[in-house]
């Protein structure tokens, strides 16, 4: 009896030990096609097993100099998601198992600057691209394949993803003028773009309600022009030091910053700060008088448009604009400065054309190219000026006839500040109500008839801030629509359809919650509730 019970105990321990050993090495069959990746990759070849990520997994880079940021970024994001702290290594000896290898060794013209190949076996994860930017985009795919929160066992489905974007410009615009948003809010917004492989943040820095960027040669623009915002609350502005910090944060994540100084309309804050910019010697108060600030003469806190204009026929205006563009160009490494040009209803047409042509020449003289809202198509365009379609198909036709590139931001489809429906707690609806499926179901290449695909520069989803007072408001309007615009820009039209997309988007609800994103839970998306 005693002997037999000891034997039983012996066999029991053998069994337990065996089952622990096998369960550690056992791979859960997993399907890479069910990774719910947004934007949808070009090709996925699933092999049905899994890679187990654990505390021993190392992140190896073949080029410590160019890939240091990628490597550190990946370990930080993995830590945020699943709590593991992975070691970062580099050197000559490429690991043969138990590692994530980030490599820039390939030379594959099909992948371009942003494409990547992600190969996951039971032993190894190999992420390769032509350069660190492609690796960085691939890292976003890898992160989406991880669980959205802490798990006992972290497994990643095996297979190969080969991926590259349809359009080279995939952006969003954040209006920090109507309501002011500071550096930390802008960085959080950049993180959202990064996560969905977008690559441009256009910052709308000036408008009637506020001038938000420090200009050292004309300090009152920001110091006075930035004092308030829509509704009369406290405004603010970004110092040049902070702007440089934003540009650096964005550049590390392969996001281009495009600053916008809107002119000659949308300029009440500038006119109030420097009466030299007006023809009358003081800012006119032609907007509704109750919405002019009592505390700060000339500053506007309402949401009407089209009442302000710079004085276009005096040299002083061009001196100030030149100084502004010069300072901005000096701290903007990217090739573009956006010069607005929309809704200048108080500027005579011939004055508008004269002004916008001079503004473009100023931008060129500082080594940059201009971007302008679609009205700019009515002017003589400088070589390289990009026209941003938001409203007028007539302007699109003119732009195409002049050989210009078109950035597609149709207000009826791509404006993130439009309400989802009549019950949306914030947002406007002058262009349309844009439910999540409406925002997804269009394509830049066919939205305006008779525009050749070669003329399409890319896609941008602007978020105007008349009704957004804080980051929760931004998140409510951006999510869950922003990932859809990212997919429109990345994935060819032939590979996209709403029924497939909405299931993948639903799976991202858990990620939104993990990132504390205050998203709108549209009933068109089959969210999975916990």
Active site residues: 343
CB nearer to ligand ACM: pick between 394 and 500: 394
- What b-and-e string marks burial along 488-500, b requiring 16 or more CB atoms within 10 Å of the CB? bbbbeeeebeeee
Give residue number: closest CB to ligand ACM: 342
Which residues, including other chains, have CB under 8 Å from residue 328's CB and lie 6 or more apart?
Answer: 213, 215, 259, 261, 337
Count the site residues for ligand ACM by CB under 6 A: 4
Q: How many CB atoms lie within 10 A of CB 73?
A: 18
Cα(99)–Cα(123) distance, integer angstroms: 8
CB of 448 to ligand ACM, least distance (A): 16
CB closer to ligand ACM out of 141 and 405: 405
Distances, alpha carbon 128 to alpha carbons 76, 103, 113, 138, in Å: 20, 5, 12, 8
Least separation, in Å, of the C-beta of 464 and ligand ACM? 7
Token digits of residue 15? 């069994």
Which lies closer to ligand ACM via its Cβ, residue 204 or residue 504? 204
Residue from 163, 327, 342, 460 touching ligand ACM (CB under 6 A): that is: 342
CB of 132 to ligand ACM, least distance (A): 34
Count of all residues that appear for the chain in the document: 530
User: Which of 267, 295, 294 has its CA nearest to residue 283?
Assistant: 267
In whole angstroms, give the CA distance from residue 187 to residue 193: 10
x/- string (CB under 6 A) for ligand ACM, residues 422-461?
A: ----------------------------------------
Report the distance separating Cα 13 and Cα 19, nearest Å.
10
Q: Among residues 180, 373, 389, 490, which is the contact residue for ligand ACM, using CB under 6 A?
A: 373
Say what angle helices 315-330 and 349-365 make with each other, to 10 degrees: 40
For ligand ACM, the closer CB: 202 or 496: 202
Record the tokens describing residue 390, joined without a space: 């938001």
Complete edge-to-edge strand list for the sheet that includes strand 154-163: 43-53, 154-163, 116-120, 124-128, 99-103, 58-61, 87-90
Q: Provide, rounded to whole angstroms, the least separation between the CB of residue 342 and ligand ACM.
A: 4
Angstrom distance (rounded) from CA 172 to CA 189:
9
Q: 143 vs 173, which CB is nearer to ligand ACM?
A: 173
Is residue 389 part of the contact set for ligand ACM (CB under 6 A)?
no
Closest distance of CB 204 from ligand ACM, Å: 9
Backbone φ, ψ for residue 177 (5° rounding): -95, -45
Rounded to whole angstroms, how far apart are CA atoms 303 and 291?
Answer: 9
Please pick, from the candidates 167, 169, 390, 479, the single residue that binds ligand ACM as defined by CB under 6 A. 390
Of 375, 392, 399, residue with least CA distance to 455: 399
Looking at beta carbons only, is 32 or 270 nearer to ligand ACM?
Answer: 270
Cα–chain center distance at 239: 22
- Answer for which of 214, 229, 343, 435 binds ligand ACM (CB under 6 A) is 343
> Rounded to the nearest whole angstrom, what is the least distance from the CB of residue 356 to ligand ACM in the complex?
14
Q: How far is the CB of 432 from ligand ACM (least distance, A)?
A: 13
Q: Kindly tell me which of 51 and 373 has the beta carbon lying closer to ligand ACM.
A: 373
What x-and-dash track marks residues 295-334 binding ligand ACM by CB under 6 A? ----------------------------------------
CA dihedral 205, 211, 215, 216 (to 10 degrees): -150
Q: Which residues bind ligand ACM (CB under 6 A)?
A: 342-343, 373, 390
């Amino acid at each position: 009896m005693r002997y037999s019970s000891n034997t039983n105990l012996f066999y029991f321990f053998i069994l337990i030990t065996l089952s622990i050993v096998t369960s550690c090495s056992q791979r859960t069959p997993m399907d890479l096609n069910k990774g719910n990746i947004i934007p949808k990759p070009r090709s996925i070849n699933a092999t049905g097993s899994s890679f187990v990520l654990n505390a021993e997994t190392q992140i190896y880079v073949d080029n410590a100099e160019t890939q240091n940021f990628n490597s550190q970024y990946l370990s930080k994001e993995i830590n945020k998601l699943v709590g593991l702290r992975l070691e970062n290594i580099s050197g000559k000896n490429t690991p043969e198992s138990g590692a994530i290898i980030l490599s820039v060794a390939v030379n594959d013209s099909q992948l371009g600057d942003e494409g990547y190949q992600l190969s996951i076996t039971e032993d190894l994860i190999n992420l390769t691209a032509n350069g660190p930017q492609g690796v960085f985009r691939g890292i976003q795919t890898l992160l989406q394949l991880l669980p959205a929160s802490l798990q006992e066992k972290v497994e990643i489905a095996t297979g190969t993803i080969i991926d590259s974007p349809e359009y080279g410009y995939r952006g969003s615009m954040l209006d920090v003028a109507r309501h002011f948003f500071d550096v930390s809010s802008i960085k959080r917004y950049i993180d959202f773009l990064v996560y969905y492989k977008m690559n441009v943040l256009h910052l709308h820095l000036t408008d009637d309600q506020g001038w938000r960027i420090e200009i050292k040669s004309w300090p009152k623009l920001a110091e006075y022009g930035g004092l308030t915002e829509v509704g009369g609350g406290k405004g603010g502005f970004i110092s040049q030091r902070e702007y440089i910090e934003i540009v650096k944060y964005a550049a590390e994540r392969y996001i281009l910053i495009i600053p916008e100084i809107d002119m000659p309309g949308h300029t009440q804050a500038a006119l109030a700060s420097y009466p030299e910019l007006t023809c009358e010697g003081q800012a006119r108060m032609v907007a509704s008088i109750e919405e002019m600030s009592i505390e700060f003469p000339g500053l506007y806190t309402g949401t009407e448009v089209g009442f302000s204009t710079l004085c276009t026929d005096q040299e002083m205006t061009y001196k100030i604009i030149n100084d502004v563009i010069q300072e901005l160009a000096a701290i903007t490494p990217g090739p573009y400065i956006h010069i607005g040009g929309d809704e200048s209803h108080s500027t005579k047409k011939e004055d508008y054309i004269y002004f916008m042509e001079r503004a473009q020449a100023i931008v060129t003289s500082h080594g940059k190219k201009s971007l302008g809202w679609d009205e700019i198509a009515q002017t003589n365009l400088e070589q390289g000026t990009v026209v941003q379609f938001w409203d007028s198909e007539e302007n699109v036709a003119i732009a195409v006839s002049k050989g210009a590139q078109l950035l597609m931001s149709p207000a009826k489809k791509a404006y993130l500040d439009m309400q989802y429906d009549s019950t949306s707690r914030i947002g406007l609806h002058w262009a349309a109500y844009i439910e999540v499926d409406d925002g997804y179901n269009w394509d830049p290449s066919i939205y305006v008839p008779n525009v050749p695909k070669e003329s399409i520069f890319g896609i941008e989803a602007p978020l105007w801030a008349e009704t957004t007072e804080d980051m929760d408001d931004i998140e409510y309007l951006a999510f869950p629509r922003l990932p859809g615009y990212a997919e429109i820009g990345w994935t060819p039209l032939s590979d996209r359809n709403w029924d497939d997309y909405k299931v993948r988007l639903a799976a991202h609800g858990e990620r939104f919650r993990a990132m504390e994103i205050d998203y709108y839970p549209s009933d068109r998306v089959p969210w999975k509730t916990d």
